[in-house]
Chains A and B, each alone.
Chain A
């Protein structure tokens, strides 16, 4: 019972650690959900370029995973999440969110239907008590399986070619579909999913096969420009496509100490996920009321004048009245623009005339800028190759 020594390894190591550590030339580690996770292996610009130019590999293991099985699995997930999990066909994946009773977001995630009565839910935060409590009255089993799965994200224009070279033919695989392959003494599941908005796949296997998988994929991708990427490069790519991250772009309700910080799907621009016709789901009453009454906040993608990233900037209406806050921002290397995601009070959104106050630190002095902000459609960047089936050669 006394074998666990967290104090010696306060950060868990993923099944790929032997490889990620060897490749982490800058020794740049961050804490992602209690795992040692690489921020930048070697060079941020090169890693971002790999996502948009060749093939990039990202260690996904720290993502929290739950397995939901049983005859009522679909009904249960319909009750838990806002989207219709029963409509998700076996072998498909969808993006979804779930709320508390007050209709405030707890997390977002991807739901994989592995079988008629077998789903996997991948997300950022931890929810076991909520998932178990929500199961009252349903014939389902909910299990936390984060440490039982080893997963890599393979993203970029040459990712399909790399998989073919590795012996996994994914040419027919459409976005949000999965395929299953024998691998070593076990199996490899490949889903056409990702967090980059580009052509890409996620590879799922068991921890015992992790290092073989890494080696196999890197060997196959050698001539296709494959390289490992850290969270910093991934963050640039997800901003370019406009994806949100729980606790970056909104504070989940179960952690919001300040009650007014929680946000609803409407307020995060995620109400399109809601299936109002599927019957009761957690938060439905509150969300219906909000739909009728209107929401306080909105979540938008914006372009900002100038070339300085607006990380953490306060947004103003008419340069004077505080109207919101930037939750994520970057200079987009792909778009050659300063882009950002922001929470904005709706009443100011309608009026336009938005500005960002940016403090640019230059050799120990701040250049204080007030830059014009324009609300634009997301995704900011959506190349056709992300959807093309079969995927283009490169």
Chain B
């Protein structure tokens, strides 16, 4: 049996990114994936004949352009399509549209509040300031503040310089921003409920917090710091579905000589004398490798696939405490035609973007209240998209794929496991809400894939269904992600690394965790990191 230099557990996008970089560095790399398909949460499958879905993630902005370029992903088929804004529909039958053009957007907001229309300059300035601060950190390994190694000291000094480069006022604003709730933050700029609700969307996605919970302002930033072709904050579709990202990565990996084996779930990481040297697959096969890299989340990796006796108890305790509370579900819908939203003017481009039916922050918070009491939201918050309004490749002409991301859905229903009946009731709550804003919608539905935290955990391996492999709250970021002392992609087991979204800088289809992990592995192997670009400078 071949011995590999590198064995990656999981063909999620981060596992594939790490594998690509390591294969390009000349290492023999193999990725083993438990599912019969690749992609993890960046996956496209055909579940209804002729319809390709974006089964989990559905829009792209975070994926680092440096990685796309290093790994030649466009050549391997990746194509990102910008989209044209969206709309939030309100209970009174109205809507608030979002436009790419600054002045069209201002006029639209002015329809709801003249004041808010003109508040946008300052708001955009401040959010962009936070983005500029965070973006250079994405492609760097966080320092370990407790170590006194020169490299950590240098990195801490760099971080300090970023911070002290700010004026006193900006620094105070930064600290406030990283800790406050999005509701409070938006109150400082806007007055209109719909305007605020629209801006709050990015702050609750994937998070088991409500818009009034402290910490949600940062989550907004996590959704605003990406870009499409340098247009910071913009989002786009991956042509052919989000699986296009992992398909291109797989092609790039194969071109670099790496291998991916599907239907090969790992049962156990082999550890001897505190060192890992391979894995045992579910079918009992042993795969030997000099180094093992886990793309699974930190809890799955260490609480399910490594003998606890091999690990320091303090570490295990912290891993157990790492928050992976699921909060989201998803409906993937095959449609026989374009749904009709009477609130939107005929011909408006807004239907090509994100659609929401939650007109106020209060309503979002009420949806979160249901989560707290162990239920999915009766009147949920949805982030809906119809990518086939732009992408001609996913369905037959005239038919559509609609992706509905839903909050909130708890990992357990009142403490017990989800049942099929719960799942069907969840589906109905979502479909009924859409039907209320698009009469006749249900008649268009050809097929629905419903994913609650139960399915997300079972299929993608996301513990408790947390879409980011761990919550993006300040206590779990930077050198505290996933746990203090282990933020540099290494683990208490030698030659066992983490590369998934549980690590810095966190979840989303970003690729940065995989890239940073590869950099650390190359460093340990004393190999040059010549094919790894640094982050593009923020000018």
**A34 with B121: CB separation less than 8 A:** no
A7 touches B99 (CB 8 A): yes
Distance (whole angstroms) from the CB of A220 to the closest CB of chain B = 34
* Residue A26 CB within 8 A of the other chain: no
Please tell me if the beta carbons of A128 and B115 are within 8 angstroms of each other in the complex: yes
A129 to B94 CA separation, bound complex (whole angstroms): 24
Interface flags, B291-326, vs A, CB<8A=1, else 0: 000000000000000000000000000000000000
Within 8 A of B (CB), among A241-263: 254-259
Let me know if A1 is at the binding interface, CB within 8 A: yes
Total contacting residues, chain A, CB less than 8 A: 29
Cross-interface CB contact of B343 among A2, A7, A144, cutoff 8 Å: A2
- In the assembled complex, how far is the CB of residue A225 from the closest CB belonging to chain B, in whole angstroms? 34
Within 8 A of B (CB), among A94-108: 102
Q: A129-B122, A257-B125 are known contacts. Are A7 and B115 too (CB-CB below 8 A)?
A: no
- B95-138 CB contacts (< 8 Å) to partner A: 95, 97, 99, 101-104, 106-108, 111, 114-119, 121-122, 125, 128-129, 132
Interface residue from A1, A7, A129, A144 paired with B104 (Cβ < 8 Å) = A7
> How far apart are A79's CB and chain B's nearest CB, in angstroms?
19
Is B114 touching A34 in the complex (CB atoms < 8 A)?
Answer: no
In the complex, the answer to whether A128 meets B114 with C-beta atoms within 8 Å is: yes
B167 touches A1 (CB 8 A): no
Residues of A within 8 A of B49 (CB): none
Given contacts A259-B166, A259-B167, contact A34 B106 (CB under 8 A): yes
Q: Are B122 and A254 in contact (CB under 8 A)?
A: yes
Interface flag for B160 (CB, 8 Å): no
The reply to whether B101 and A10 form a contact with Cβ atoms under 8 Å apart is yes
Closest to A132 in B: B115
- Beyond A1-B93, A10-B104, A34-B106, is A129–B119 a contact (Cβ under 8 Å)? yes
Scan B65-107; emit 1 where CB is below 8 A from any A CB, else 0. Answer: 0000000000000000000000000000111010101111011
Given A4-B108, A254-B121, are A10 and B103 also a contact pair (CB < 8 Å)?
Answer: yes
CB distance from A138 to the nearest CB of B (A): 17
Which A residues are CB-close (under 8 A) to B345?
A: 2-5
Nearest CB on A from B81, distance (A): 18
Residues in A whose Cβ lies below 8 Å from that of B343: 2
CA of A144 to CA of B119, assembled, Å = 13
Q: With A and B bound together, what is the CA distance between A12 and B322 in angstroms?
A: 52
Shortest C-beta distance, A149 to chain B (Å), equals: 16
Contacting A6 at CB < 8 Å: which of B93, B99, B132?
Answer: B99
Partner of A12, one of B107, B166, B189, B348: B107
Shortest C-beta distance, A124 to chain B (Å), equals 12
Tell me the complex Cα distance, A144–B114, Å: 8
A259 touches B121 (CB 8 A): no
Does B104 contact A255, Cβ atoms closer than 8 Å? no
CB of A42 closer than 8 Å to a CB of B: no
A1 to B90, CA, bound (A): 12
Task: Report the bound CA distance from A129 to B343 in whole Å.
Answer: 29
Q: Interface centre among A6, A102, A125, by most B CB within 10 Å?
A: A6
CA distance A33 to B102 in the complex (A): 9
Closest partner residue, chain A, to B345 (CB atom) = A2
> CA separation between A34 and B105, bound complex, in Å?
10
Q: Show 12 residue pairs from A and B whose CB-CB distance is below 8 angstroms, ordered by the A residue.
A: A1-B93, A2-B345, A4-B108, A7-B104, A7-B348, A10-B101, A12-B107, A126-B106, A126-B117, A129-B115, A129-B119, A257-B128
